[in-house]
Amino acid sequence: MSGENGAPSEALLVLADGTVFEGEAIGAPSPDGVQTGEVVFNTVLSGYQEVITDPSYAGQVIAFTYPHIGNYGVNPDDHESRRPFCRGVVVRDLARRHSNWRATGDLDGLLRRHDIPGIAGVDTRRLTRHLRDLGAMPGAFGTADESTLARLAAEAPGTDGLDLAATVTCDEPYTAASTGGSRRIVAYDFGIKSTILHHLSGLGEVTVVPASTSADEVLALGPDGVFLSNGPGDPEPLTGVREQITALLGEVPVFGICLGHQLLAGTLGAETFKLPFGHHGGNHPVRNLATGAVEITSQNHNYCVAEGSLSSADLTHVNLNDHTVEGLASREVPAFSVQYHPEAGPGPHDSRYLFDRFEDLMAATGGKGRG
């Protein structure tokens, strides 16, 4: 965004506690010069397009810790959803010129096309340290004056208690054709990513359904397995979804990731809590407790399953940074889940075995698929 004579427009980011960061406006103009959202930081070194288009960031402003963002441009193949759902983007240095043979445009252009405002030139190291010490918090940024931004930042809600999955889910069911398998899978869309569908379609035909779909409607499709997708925000208000999962458990194998993991855990009686600043990045080490292997994982969540509340499930994976719950398996029904994103590849293939595990579970419970 430019001011007079094409010069960048000065902008500010103000956090709910009154801390101010200076920068310049990028991306789409903010309505009335203001955008609000919960400010979180992400530590990936690459993959900024996949992060921005991940629906799990609904309601949040993404601050990238890596200082140079946008250098290899953007392209339609790397979109993880139909559009970005984040509230904004904060960077230190936005590349003014991109260079990559796959690029079809630049990051600033992508933000403008999808009405996503941003702010560049921010001291993201200082911002990250602040959020790390005090936790993720609401903020306001834009070209409005500091007092307006400070007031709106203090008034802005966080993500607690909001059903953000309802804002990103599909309106109608749709199908992803099989690319090799014979299974029939139903995937709940709480904010599902394109790469997840790519891996699931390797097992069979995938019918993606809205988050509000009933268990009866799912079972009427005759699935060999049900997948619970990633998604944004707090799992606590999704009581209706948990009721449907309860009805599915024992009827069909269930595999969940991220928000789907938290919802499955809640259905099994576990509790969740909000992490101070969440896990957002592509380098989180996770130990598989069955094999002892350490997986390098991609993560994006603010909420977590409380370990002591797993009464009817076994703990299967643990985050080695903070020892939080990263995976579980029910002892009573064919269902398992992980907190991280096995479809992403920072390892690069450390966690893809989980899709094979889903196939094995469907085979073991008698799924015949279409074959």
Catalytic residues: 258, 341, 343
Burial 207-237 (b: 16+ CB within 10 A, else e): bbbbbebebeebeeeebbbbbbbbbbbbbbe
* Burial (CB count <10 Å: 0-12, 13-18, 19+), residue 274: middle
Structure-token pair, residue 58: 């609904």
Taking CA atoms, 293 is separated from 243, 321, 335, 354, in Å, by 34, 15, 21, 14
DSSP code, position 147: H
Structure-token pair, residue 328: 């579980």
Structure-token pair, residue 63: 């601050």
DSSP code, position 293: -
Residue recorded with tokens 């350490």: 294
DSSP-based helix, strand, coil % in the chain, nearest 5: 25, 30, 40
CA distance 123 to 133: 16
Q: At what angle do helices 239-248 and 259-267 cross, to 10 degrees?
A: 70
Residues 6+ apart with CB under 8 A from 324: 275, 304, 305, 307, 318, 339
Residue recorded with tokens 């299974």: 183
CA distance 194 to 206: 12
Instruction: Verify cis geometry, omega within 30 degrees of 0, for the bond prior to 173.
Output: no
Of the candidates 117, 104, 56, 99, which has an alpha carbon nearest to the alpha carbon of residue 78?
A: 104
Of the candidates 288, 285, 284, which has an alpha carbon nearest to the alpha carbon of residue 300?
A: 284
CA distance 363 to 310: 26
